[in-house]
Structure 1
Amino acid sequence: MQWSFLFLSLAATSTALIRFQCSQLVTQRLDPLVTPGMIPSPHVHQIVGGNSFNATMDPKKDMPGESDCTTCQMADDFSNYWTAVLYFKARNGTYKRVRQLANSGFDGAAGGGMTVYYMQDALYDTKQPSKVSAFQPGFRMFIGNVQARTMDEAARFRQLTYTCLETPATRDHETIALPKKVCPAGIMSSLRFPNCWDGKNLDSPDHLSHMSYPSSGTFESGGPCPSTHPVRTSQVMFEVIWDTRPFNNPDDWPLDGSQPFVWSFGDATGYANHADYVFGWKDDSLQKILDTPCYVNCDTARTQSIAEMNKCAQKAVVEEDIDGWLTELPGGHQAEFAPTPEKR
């Protein structure tokens, strides 16, 4: 789909960074971006955001704006954000879903959920001087390679990382592979989307080609957008904290000492980490926030309490056991390290 826009808002000074929590909306096998209409989709996802999430998410029919509530702290954000789900593989070969923890300061968020950022410049830059454009209705994107099982295959997506949490405040020593040691406070996955848009396409066949990372340098270093993708947007980032603490007894880990966690589609390396985003902010609320000087907490943003976020929930349409001790991952997947096509 092709669209053209006048980016008059880029002339304004944009100085905002926002960080907020979203409670869990639902956990099930649906993926309206990669496998629209498929019920169930190949693997389990955990979804947050607006309650109009469904198997198709046709931008012409059921935009996230049709939601009447959102699990996100930003009350005007009816977007949907989702990732795969992490499982623990026991020594006897059975699997158990790893629950999520809310980020520091957001205790009580239902299901743990995730923390979402919209950044114009590096997180540590409190001035956020770059000018950016908000996404447009119908926009969506995907990041990652679900087939990756080696470092070379994951190299394109070095912005998808893990942090072995020694404490809830740990934020250093990121890795692209899943941590190979016990993580006392859990494992955090950080997923950073591209921030350069081609200015025309709200989506693309691979859900990524309409977006790009900087042509040189990095987002954090203020690298320039390539000429093919000249419109600078916020960088969207997810932080998801997986509560691996119940599985931290090394006696339960594989006899060969390998790490025991596996994504819901079978990847036991961590290289295939990926995430999906469907834009759904109400009217121009996101652009107004981005055009207002603020850092993390923005007075111009409408917010809701964690209790209000938790009231917004959705019943799974795919009925299956995703939480018990399972002999195989939902969808028939098994933990594997070698590249194999995902089941369709």
Structure 2
Amino acid sequence: MVPIVLVLLYALAHLRLVIAQATSNYVIFGGTQAVVRTRLDPIVNPGTYGTHVHDVFGGSGFSDNYDYNQLIQSTCTTMEITEDFSNYWVPSMFYVDPNNGSYTLMESTMNIYYLIRPGPNNDKIQPFPQGLKMLAGDNTRGTYNASSEEDQAISYMCLDYSNNHANDPDWAQRPNFFDHQCPDGLRAQAFFPSCWDGQNLDSEDHKSHMSYPIGAYNDGYCPDTHPVHLISLFYELFAPVGDFPYNGPGTWSFSNGDTNGYRFHGDFQMGWKDMSLLQQFIDACPAAQGNVADCPALAAVMDTTAASACQFGGQIVNEDIGDVSPIAALPGCNLPWDGNGTMPTCSGDDNPGFVDAIMPLPSGWIDMGCIAEGTSGRALTNVTFTGNNMTKAVCSAMCANEALPYAGVEDGNQCFCGETLMNGAVSSTVPQEQCYSRCSGNVFETCGGQQKLELLHNPNPTPVTLPLTAPTTIPSTNGSSSSTPSSPSPSPSPGSSGSTGSIQWVNSSCNKDGSSRALTGYTFASDQMSPSLCQAACAAKGFIIAGLEYGAECYCGNSFANNLGSTLSASSCSMPCTGDASTKCGGSWALSVFKSANTTSAHARKRAQRRAH
């Protein structure tokens, strides 16, 4: 347990942050998904392997070595602002099995804050200069120095939405890991230095060109040596530690072997393509209190659906990082260290090589894009496969081995093969972001969407062998090796309830939302939004509450958070859905809420299964 005196000192050091947040404008790019997870660090280890695995967010142009001009050529970004190709990265979080010492990667998400913090002297705030690189935190630190701004800038919150832990020091924000379970996740936080020397975009130690403000690391004034006060950058990494049992100290580890949390750190490579957007955020968004929609310039280029569909097409280190099954050791030779004594080291060869993050399609196959399913049945009706290793390459190979020229992936783990398009389906594409489902065999690749196929074609398919286990064939009704799927289930009609697969949804009520969000599990937006689309997405992510807002937005969760969710009058949820004008999809800060009649979510079932082991 952290000493009570240290907790109180830490709370006082962070009091100014709370006050400043209430008075300065800021935006939160919330629930950001990683674009890739790999052992690369182009700032600290350019051109070679990094020392540990990172969760990387933002532009798809991330690589072992690049500059600003290369980064802004990214084809997409997991940031909801389409002009932000910056990369934001942190060490990956792992669960450590107490029985065999193996490591399982946690799929964390991140909130990224941009804050206007002029300090007591009301400094003029400037946007990040093109190509700026900077770090927060220290990868080698094993202790906490309460007088160090750099140490103060790293902190943690233990999340429990079901209980009130106010005034309990054992649940207060602190500088290291908690000594108990965090049912709804652990939030690792990093506040970056905001004072720049005005000349250097980087420095030898990647820190000297930046400085924390004087007086308060999060809202002070800039020293004469670093006179340019930039936008303040703040990370909140959400690690789903509650999905795993808590077994005492050493249960959680960052990819660098850190088992107490002091070595958490963040990296930032500036990649905003339209620099004027940051200036407009500074000058023209005084009402922004977290919600991007309150900053018109940013809202105009916000696309959460495109962010969800972003795929990383570069290369990664060719090694197992524990994302599919547990691994015996952390990649890069990182031994566990709790900060006591000397940090352990190890030696050995480290030359795993690089490999494409997305397996290329077999020879002769082309990706024709995202298409809608058939209007009266499946578009591809000859053979169907499902599997937990599904990718576009795997599906193409399976269809090629059936001598069928068309292949289509859907809903992340389904593969359909056919001789031609059937049941009213056509090859005309819909917006690519509608194929947003992550492939079950590669989370950084998308495999169709809800009633949307990523269509693949080879006019002359020949047998293909891939170095992967083949998906499971869905048995047909006559026991043969192929199957003719039934027509897609119809979308639920407007009204009080509907079904998504085997999940029944009940229209609950109209509920209050706010800038901190009532439903925080997953979100996306679509110009084809409907209750069935939102319900399907929430069900696929393992959540039991689906909320629709402002006609085009979908929010998922298992309970209401942030003191939001109170019942509103039905008239507050009167905005037509963008994909079905006959149905209502919430309103302004108002959620049309549906609850699953299957009260145990897939997320909760998976958590229970892991706890049982």
Compared with structure 1, are the counterparts of its residues 152 and 131 closer, same or farther at alpha carbon in structure 2 (3 Å cutoff)? Answer: closer
Separation in structure 2 between the aligned mates of residue 191 and residue 218 of structure 1, nearest angstrom = 11
RMSD after superposition = 2.5
Is 1:247 aligned to 2:244, yes or no?
A: yes
Which of 274, 287, 292 is the matching residue for 2:279?
287
Which of 69, 72, 75 is the matching residue for 1:65?
72
Separation in structure 2 between the aligned mates of residue 132 and residue 334 of structure 1, nearest angstrom = 42
Larger radius of gyration: 2
For the Cα contact (< 8 Å) 1:139–1:202, is it kept in 2?
Answer: yes
1:33 equivalent in structure 2? 43
Is 1:262 aligned to 2:248, yes or no?
A: no
1:185 equivalent in structure 2? 184
2:98 equivalent in structure 1? 91
Amino acid at match of 1:139: L
1:12 equivalent in structure 2? none
2:232 equivalent in structure 1? 235
1:225 equivalent in structure 2? 222
- Answer 1 or 2: higher relative contact order, Cα 8 Å, separation at least 6: 1
Is 1:135 aligned to 2:138, yes or no?
A: no
1:52 equivalent in structure 2? 61
Compared with structure 1, are the counterparts of its residues 16 and 311 closer, same or farther at alpha carbon in structure 2 (3 Å cutoff)? Answer: same
Could you tell me how far 1:98 is from its partner in structure 2? 1.8
1:109 equivalent in structure 2? none
Q: Deviations over 1:180-217 (max 9, x none)?
A: 11111110011110111111111111111111111223
Separation in structure 1 between the aligned mates of residue 222 and residue 123 of structure 2, nearest angstrom = 12
Q: Provide TM-score, normalisation by structure 1.
A: 0.81
Q: Provide TM-score, normalisation by structure 2.
A: 0.47
Separation in structure 2 between the aligned mates of residue 192 and residue 325 of structure 1, nearest angstrom = 31
- SS of match in other structure, 1:310: helix
For the Cα contact (< 8 Å) 1:147–1:341, is it kept in 2?
Answer: no
Could you tell me how far 1:219 is from its partner in structure 2? 2.5
Which of 24, 34, 42 is the matching residue for 2:34?
24
- Structure 1 residue runs of 5 or longer lacking an equivalent are 1-14, 101-112
Could you tell me how far 1:307 is from its partner in structure 2? 2.1
Separation in structure 2 between the aligned mates of residue 97 and residue 68 of structure 1, nearest angstrom = 27
For the Cα contact (< 8 Å) 1:120–1:130, is it kept in 2?
Answer: no
1:5 equivalent in structure 2? none
Could you tell me how far 1:68 is from its partner in structure 2? 2.2
Separation in structure 1 between the aligned mates of residue 226 and residue 344 of structure 2, nearest angstrom = 30
1:313 equivalent in structure 2? 311
2:113 equivalent in structure 1? 117
Compared with structure 1, are the counterparts of its residues 209 and 341 closer, same or farther at alpha carbon in structure 2 (3 Å cutoff)? Answer: farther
Amino acid at match of 1:258: P
For the Cα contact (< 8 Å) 1:265–1:342, is it kept in 2?
Answer: no
1:8 equivalent in structure 2? none
Equivalent positions of 1:192-231 (< 5 A) are 192-220=191-219, 223-231=220-228
Q: Deviations over 1:283-324 (max 9, x none)?
A: 322112221123133111133333210221215522221122
- SS of match in other structure, 1:51: coil
**Percent of matched pairs sharing the same residue:** 32
Q: Compare the two structures and name the one with the higher strand fraction.
A: 2
Separation in structure 2 between the aligned mates of residue 153 and residue 175 of structure 1, nearest angstrom = 11
2:422 equivalent in structure 1? none
For the Cα contact (< 8 Å) 2:137–2:153, is it kept in 1?
Answer: no
Could you tell me how far 1:245 is from its partner in structure 2? 1.3
2:552 equivalent in structure 1? none
1:300 equivalent in structure 2? 297
Compared with structure 1, are the counterparts of its residues 246 and 84 closer, same or farther at alpha carbon in structure 2 (3 Å cutoff)? Answer: same
Q: Deviations over 1:267-297 (max 9, x none)?
A: 1111011010000111322112221123133
Q: Deviations over 1:92-121 (max 9, x none)?
A: 211111222xxxxxxxxxxxx311111013
Separation in structure 2 between the aligned mates of residue 119 and residue 70 of structure 1, nearest angstrom = 21
Separation in structure 2 between the aligned mates of residue 134 and residue 140 of structure 1, nearest angstrom = 13
Is 1:163 aligned to 2:154, yes or no?
A: no
For the Cα contact (< 8 Å) 1:24–1:313, is it kept in 2?
Answer: no
Could you tell me how far 1:82 is from its partner in structure 2? 0.4
Which of 75, 78, 82 is the matching residue for 2:82?
75
Compared with structure 1, are the counterparts of its residues 244 and 154 closer, same or farther at alpha carbon in structure 2 (3 Å cutoff)? Answer: farther
Q: Deviations over 1:141-176 (max 9, x none)?
A: 011111111224994321111101122999972111
Amino acid at match of 2:33: S
Q: Compare the two structures and name the one with the higher helix fraction.
A: 2
For the Cα contact (< 8 Å) 1:27–1:47, is it kept in 2?
Answer: yes
For the Cα contact (< 8 Å) 2:135–2:267, is it kept in 1?
Answer: yes
